[in-house]
A and B are shown apart, each in its own frame.
Chain A
């Protein structure tokens, strides 16, 4: 055996390499062929999402009768409202961009992003656009450190704020002079000026309320991430650490009453929820060991979530 190996090692090595290449090719071809577009559950409401099942991340629109329409747009994260769509996608290895499209699907603006996309949002009118990215490696080796950048684009004036760190912030009424802070997960009010976002610094997160024209933000309360303002502007949904293992759960805060309601069955979520209407939230959550799945949940926390679309993510109304 040993002699045989010594004499034929070149031939055997080449044969082994051919087998590896052939096996990998067969696997990849069969996997790509067997991919199925995500199938929505019966009775799902109208919804736009990224189809992860089809293997192309195609943005898909589901109308209220359950008909799917799929264009050529491929995104990691998408949000659409008021005729404006923001699509966060990879443009080069390690490089990403936010593509802003109008009602006809034509690109009106493309903004290079400094990291891996995380959140995307458009105001109800379609005028204000925002995104959050993780800056990969920023604080890679610093214990407890990580970094996000959040940008806001005003399509009417063309104003682009590349990072919210440039705005003034007051924390619990005091001007903020911290050097290390991160903002993420913007949601807009229907006046196209008010917005909510998350401020993180050290081990604390805050829900902040911002005034875009004044370039100012102020903290509202602690421990609330990735807010999402209801269409009527009375409630904010956000994720908050509360699960057994410090996992996130979704909560809905009544802004006037200050009352917080937990959404059952949302344990382990990591998404910025989207309001499908004033009573319903949608969010994506990975099933145990599986692909992300879009769920919907009544905003008053009265029932367990229902599965809307398996192997899909990034829901927007």
Chain B
């Protein structure tokens, strides 16, 4: 195991007693909560805004969004590297959160231009790309290694609460206040700004181990992949990512297979998010005890079960409830847990770079799988598409089980 994880660090003054989560993690959770309200307010509003306020076709936007998601995933690498290089994770995170917040004010002046809207969405994504690795690095730097799973769990719980509140806020404004777009964007901007203020004023850059005047180069970052555990983790997360189909497809197939009324489509993401936020912290704690890689692996077995259920062994509402609950559990067992595992593999001075490599590999793999599965759905029956996804997942699980040995798994 790497030296990094053997040293207990708490950047925030006196280390917190017992199993408490460091204040910095709670504050970063608050930043994410507020930022997610801001982001999801706009996401929930966008279809209505584009179709009714701008009288534009929705499909132009969906296309652009998919392309940008992939392109900006790579920006995580940039954010991670810069954060390590200038020794200031917080500054890079501020830039990322600030960029995303600022885009909310630009929307109204863009008007009905598909290219313009796509550009603003791309900048928003770029901000997200930039901030993710330094933020996760900060969480890992202030948390003792035996509590990393719990800390990331708490962060993801708070993050998801924000994601659930955002659409509610949009709905409340549209229903009771006004349907004109200005206030939605300004309120969203306000939440983004509040998150930024919490970050700038209340969060402190974690102190890190002193590295005697050694500059971090791109070479250092690429050398991370020479480390066996790091390389295997990245490849394994990528392989499993290749077999992970996007939420939207899970829900669409689930609605058709279960035979429930299409109105349930709107509630399925809420169900997944609720399970995710309820289970993220407990599963993070369990992962700290039993092994984070094991938890991450188990999470993907749960996803394989979700695919099995998408074949429709039974139907109706019970199928929807069970599938959505397991889908949320999959996220709870994998999302923060992978970062907690990754943090133990990388030295502190390269923490953000290391985490960004794992994240980018996973994000690009998931994008590729979404595109492929989308094409499958267009050409094949649901059952065949799901069977192919299930086969890919089982193959990935077997491959990963052979690839990642237990001694590097924890």
Contact = CB atoms under 8 A, between A and B. Distances in A.
A235 to B, nearest CB: 23
Contact of B48 (A10, A116, A137): A116
Contacts of A146: 58-59, 62
Contacts of A55: 177-180
Contacts, number: 188
Centre residue among B63, B167, B180, B367 by max chain A CB count within 10 A: B180
A32 B190 contact: no
Contact of B194 (A20, A95, A97): A20
B48 to A, nearest CB: 6
Contacts of A113: 262-263
A27 interface: yes
Contacts of B109: 289
B201 A9 contact: yes
Contact of A17 (B58, B194, B246, B370): B194
A59 B197 CA distance: 41
B146 interface: no
Contact of A13 (B112, B178, B202): B202
A159 interface: no
B266 A143 contact: no
> Which of A31, A139, A162, A285 neighbours the largest number of chain B CB atoms within 10 Å of its CB?
A139
B71 interface: no
Nearest to A56: B179
A173 interface: no
A137 B194 contact: no
Interface stretch (A61-69, A86-94, A189-197): A86-94
A31 B374 contact: no
B258 interface: no
A32 B202 contact: no
A299 interface: no
A93 B202 contact: no
Contacts of A270: 55-57
Interface string A56-88: 110000000000000000101100000000000
B381 interface: yes
Contacts of B379: 179-180
B380 A143 contact: no
A54 B257 CA distance: 42
A74 B54 CA distance: 18
B392 interface: no
Contacts of B318: none
A14 B160 CA distance: 24
A93 B69 CA distance: 24
A178 to B, nearest CB: 10
A35 interface: yes
A201 to B, nearest CB: 10
Contacts of B269: 94
A283 to B, nearest CB: 9
B32 to A, nearest CB: 16
B51 interface: yes
Interface in A143-195: 143-146, 149, 162, 179-180
A142 B378 contact: yes
A118 B59 CA distance: 12
A142 B377 contact: yes
B51 A134 contact: yes
Interface string B190-209: 10011001101110000000
A155 B263 CA distance: 21
Interface stretch (B149-157, B181-189, B226-234, B334-342): B181-189
Contacts of B44: 93-94
Contact of B52 (A17, A77, A95, A162): A77
B167 A93 contact: yes
B53 interface: yes
A112 interface: yes
Nearest to B200: A13
B183 to A, nearest CB: 5
Interface string A106-123: 000000111111100000
A17 B34 CA distance: 12
Contact of A52 (B179, B187, B380): B179
Contact of B66 (A57, A118, A143, A286): A143
A24 B187 contact: yes
B10 interface: no
B52 A313 contact: yes
A21 B170 CA distance: 17
A204 interface: no
A256 interface: no
Interface in B44-77: 44, 47-48, 51-59, 62-63, 65-66, 69
Contacts of B202: 9-10, 13
Contacts of A303: none
B62 A115 contact: no
B51 A118 contact: yes
Contacts of B391: none
Given A90-B48, A115-B265, A149-B262, A12 B55 contact: no
B363 to A, nearest CB: 12
Contacts of B247: 137
A55 B182 CA distance: 10
8 contacts: A90-B171, A90-B174, A115-B262, A137-B247, A137-B252, A142-B374, A162-B262, A286-B54
Interface of A: 9-10, 12-13, 16-17, 20-21, 23-24, 27-28, 31-32, 35, 52, 55-57, 74, 76-77, 90, 92-97, 112-118, 134-146, 149, 162, 179-180, 269-271, 284-286, 288-292, 313
Ranked 6 nearest A-B pairs via Cβ: A142-B374, A13-B201, A114-B262, A112-B263, A289-B111, A137-B248
